[in-house]
Chains A and B, each alone.
Chain A
């Protein structure tokens, strides 16, 4: 018996919400980063599931591009974390408030 596409929608929504809650709840910048990756993955899963049920491969090509953007984002983001840690000795996002008015 095939899995209804709604199940994938439910799973994807739950994973995405978990990522959002992670960004809201955690103050550790690396955990925040991983939560963002979780959100991207939830979107990817829905892309692939919908592409499968429409019998097209365009969704999979899009996932490929999303992964490219995610890889660049992680490289830049972690370089920023390193630069930040070197100058401030912290990874707490609440300590980074210089730009706050």
Chain B
């Protein structure tokens, strides 16, 4: 993958993320979030991770976006936008955010060389990759996989219970 393609995708990801965080209109915010997820999915493909890319599109750009849009529609966009009273928090948030970005950049960039720069092996390419992920998932990570299914069941029951009654 060329640096140019990475640069374009990175700029797109950063722009969509910034627009999402600063969105006044909630529907625009959700759509920017989906655009960001789609850009990341393309990046996964260029990283030779087609399985993760497809799951990203199905779960994030599909299911999660629909959930967010449903909530925005159910509550009503007008009721969801209001004047946000921030006081002096804006300055603190900016300073802390920049501080965190600096710390993360220093640590991650200095840790990155230890990830190795090895060349791609054949088995990483295309359909083989999906087979490899599947094999790992159903052998070494079988127990976490089952736990994930239980977690999804719990989340489903929890969402139904929470949405059903007047709880708060």
Contact = CB atoms under 8 A, between A and B. Distances in A.
Interface of A: 1-22, 24-28, 30-31, 33-35, 37-38, 41, 44-46, 48-55, 57-58, 60-61, 63-65, 67-76, 78-89, 91-92, 94
B36 to A, nearest CB: 7
Given A37-B64, A48-B47, A68-B152, A86 B166 contact: yes
Contacts of B144: 65
Interface string B8-49: 001001100110110100100110010011001001100111
Contacts of A3: 1-3, 6
Contacts of B160: 79
A52 B155 contact: no
Interface of B: 1-3, 6, 10, 13-14, 17-18, 20-21, 23, 26, 29-30, 33, 36-37, 40, 43-44, 47-49, 51-52, 55-56, 59-60, 63-64, 67-68, 70-72, 74-75, 79-82, 84-86, 89-90, 92-94, 96-98, 100-101, 104-105, 108-109, 111-113, 115-118, 120-121, 124, 129, 132-133, 136-137, 140-141, 144, 148, 151-152, 154-156, 158-160, 162-163, 166-168
A81 B108 CA distance: 34
10 contacts: A5-B113, A9-B108, A20-B100, A45-B40, A55-B118, A61-B133, A61-B136, A75-B155, A79-B162, A87-B168
Contacts, number: 251
